[in-house]
Every structure is written in structure tokens, then in C-alpha cells.
Amino acid sequence: MPSGGRSSQALRSVLRSMLRIFGIFLITQLCHSEAQQCDPGEYEINGECCPMCSAGSRVVKHCRLSRSTTCMPCVDDTYTEQPNHLTKCMRCKVCDAGARLMVKEKCTYRKNTVCGCAPGDFCRHGAGGDCEMCSASTICLPGFKVKILGKAM
């Protein structure tokens, strides 16, 4: 019976060791996952939570322990519409004259260009107030009426 007592002690010792290892694993995972959860308005880079740049600007240098994020305004037909951690601003949309488009709202450092149709044209393809393709409106002959109204957008 003494050998059975030793094997149960060895088994308990192995189980305790496994529980300790599992506990250490859980603690390191919990700490690791908490370090990567940043507050709204922050982004994670290299294990740090950095403040985002505001709409209309971009990141020049990511934050470090000794300094905050360095941001720069968007320039030269570029923009960002929301707080971000982009290192480059987005290029403004160009309204394609070949698709009969014209600038409805000019691009700013905080908002992309909005395209629309010239007077007398209607929007064939569009979404959210922005048109992607226009067509000339049909002129009805005398005695006929408009069947479907086009949208200027």
C-alpha cells in the first residue's frame, strides 16, 4: 500500500502544478487583453493606447510614454471625416465630367467632394446625396407626359 500512497501524492503534485500553470496562463492572458482595449477616441499601437487625431487631420508621430500623438491637418485636396489614426489623409473625389458630373459641394479638409448633375440632367447612379453618373433628361414631345421623374441629386 505504500507505493499507492506515493502515486496518489505524485498525482496531486502534478495536478497542483498544472493548476498553477493554468492560473498563471489565465492571469497573463487577462492582463494582455486588457492592455489592448483602448478607450473610445484612442487606438492601440505597440501596446500603447494613443489619442486619435481629430477629423481633418492625420497622425505624424504615434504617441509614446513621454509624448502624445502628433497630428497634422490635411492639405492639398485631402481629408478625413472622423477621428482617426491614419498616417495619410484620403484623396478628395474628382467629379468625372465624362459621367456628366459636376461639383455639388467642394472638398474640405473634413469632408469629401459631393458630386451632382448639371441643370437638365438627372442622377442615374447615386447614394447618400452623392451622384456617380448623370444622364441628360428626356424632353417630352407635345401630347406626352413624364413617366418617371429623374433625381437631380
For the chain, the maximum distance between any two Cα atoms, rounded to a whole number of angstroms, is: 113
CATH topology of domain 94-136: Tumor Necrosis Factor Receptor, subunit A; domain 2 (2.10.50)
Which residue has cell 495536478? 15
Q: Where are the beta strands (DSSP E) in the chain?
A: 42-45, 48-51, 57-61, 70-73, 78-79, 90-91, 101-105, 114-117, 121-127, 130-136
* Domain segments of the chain as ranges: 1-35, 38-91, 94-136
Class of domain 38-91: mainly beta
pTM: 0.65
More confident residue, 99 or 15: 99
Write down the number of H helices and E strands in the chain: 1, 10
Ramachandran angles phi, psi of 132, nearest 5° = -110, -20
pLDDT in tens, 24-78: 655 555 544 445 689 999 999 988 999 999 999 999 999 998 899 999 999 999 9
Q: One fold for both 38-91 and 94-136? A: yes
